[in-house]
């Protein structure tokens, strides 16, 4: 699923797209190993404290990777997401991001009556304006027949040559084909600290809520993790 960390990565990637030499394309591999005290997606909590490792390959403007949620207290809420996309530089300010995500839930079987895999396509417009970043995305889940629109605004200020303070605000609307639509909101603050040229330690706090009747809202959680790029 598109999580806050991936949204931030997409905004940064969208701001730094550049032409690549087809004969000798550059590539990088990013490994992320964070802990989250809650797993919240689009305003809804899916699990308690979880480890959320991911691996992402980037070559030129193409990227692909795997993200997973592994709850510490049980394996009921295990999730594995496979994603891939491509970025198009539109100008020095704007870029387009197009891709797809496959959500896989290993613990679900036919007895639950729920799909153990769903498939979602997405398209997003990212912009960079000095220290500010913006993103506007549309997601369509073909399995669940649900459409989502999400906007983000980010701000980053350098604290030192090794650390920065980042803010990200999110608002989204989910339109399922069956059932009521709902709105969700979120805000997060993170402080990445560069340990080496390839390793970064990041801590943060997040808050998200929604307007779904009868479902717990007002989620507050923290994250801490190590990111290494090869």
Q: Classify residue 214 as left (phi > 0), alpha (psi -120 to 50) or beta.
A: left
Record the tokens describing residue 64, joined without a space: 């692909």
**Start-to-end Cα distance in the chain:** 24
- Supply the pLDDT for residue 112: 72
Do residues 63 and 84 lie in contact, with contact meaning Cβ atoms separated by under 8 Å?
Answer: yes
The pLDDT > 90 percentage for the chain reads: 82
Residue 15 is predicted with a pLDDT of 41
Tokens of 19: 């032409």
At 137, list the tokens.
Answer: 């995305």
Question: What is the pLDDT, as a whole number, of residue 114?
Answer: 82
Q: Which residues pair with 65 in a beta bridge?
A: 56, 83
Taking a C-beta distance cutoff of 8 angstroms, is the pair 76, 50 a contact? no
* pLDDT score recorded for residue 156: 98
Q: Is the pLDDT of residue 166 over 70?
A: yes
Q: In this structure, what token pair is assigned to residue 48? A: 């308690």
pLDDT tens digits, 128-146: 999 999 999 999 999 999 9
pLDDT at 20 over 60: no
Q: Which CATH class is domain 4-19+29-229?
A: mainly beta
- Neighbouring C-beta atoms of residue 220, cutoff 10 Å: 12
Q: CA nearest 12: which of 211, 148, 149, 190? A: 190
Residues, the chain: 230
**What span, in angstroms and rounded, lies between the C-alpha atoms of 181 and 228?**
38
pLDDT, tens only, 40-93: 999 999 999 999 999 999 999 999 999 999 999 876 779 999 999 999 999 999
- Cα Rg, the chain, nearest whole Å: 17
| Half-sphere exposure in the Cβ direction for 61 (13 Å, CA) | 19
Q: Is 149 helix (H, G, I), strand (E, B) or coil?
A: strand
pLDDT tens for 92-135 read 999 999 999 999 999 887 777 788 999 999 999 999 999 999 99
Per-domain residue ranges of the chain: 4-19+29-229
Identify whether the C-beta of residue 39 lies closer than 8 Å to the C-beta of residue 47: yes
pLDDT of residue 23 exceeding 90, the answer is no
Give the integer Cα–Cα distance in Å for 156 and 166: 4
Nearest to 150 by CA among 158, 138, 168, 167: 138
> Is the pLDDT assigned to residue 21 strictly greater than 50?
no
Answer yes or no: is pLDDT of 22 > 70.
no
């Amino acid at each position: 699923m598109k999580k806050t960390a991936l949204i931030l990565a997409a905004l940064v990637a969208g701001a730094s797209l550049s032409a690549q030499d087809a004969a000798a394309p550059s590539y990088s591999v990013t490994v992320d190993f964070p802990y989250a005290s809650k797993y919240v997606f689009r305003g809804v909590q899916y699990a308690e404290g979880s480890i959320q490792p991911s691996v992402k390959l980037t070559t030129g403007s193409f990227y692909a990777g795997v993200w997973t949620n592994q709850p510490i207290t049980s394996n009921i809420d295990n999730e594995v997401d496979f994603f891939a996309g491509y970025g198009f530089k539109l100008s020095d300010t704007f870029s387009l991001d197009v891709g797809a995500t496959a959500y896989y839930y290993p613990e679900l079987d036919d007895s639950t009556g729920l799909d153990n895999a769903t498939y979602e396509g997405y398209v997003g417009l990212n912009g960079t304006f000095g220290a500010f970043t913006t993103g506007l995305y549309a997601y369509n889940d073909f399995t669940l027949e649900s459409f989502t629109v999400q906007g983000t605004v980010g701000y980053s200020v350098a604290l030192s040559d090794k650390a920065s303070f980042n803010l990200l605000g999110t608002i989204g609307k989910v339109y399922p084909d069956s059932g009521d639509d709902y709105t969700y909101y979120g805000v997060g603050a993170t402080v990445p600290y560069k340990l080496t040229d390839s390793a970064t330690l990041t801590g943060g706090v997040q808050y998200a809520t929604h307007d779904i009747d009868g479902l717990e809202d007002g989620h507050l959680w923290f994250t801490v993790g190590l990111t290494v790029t090869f």
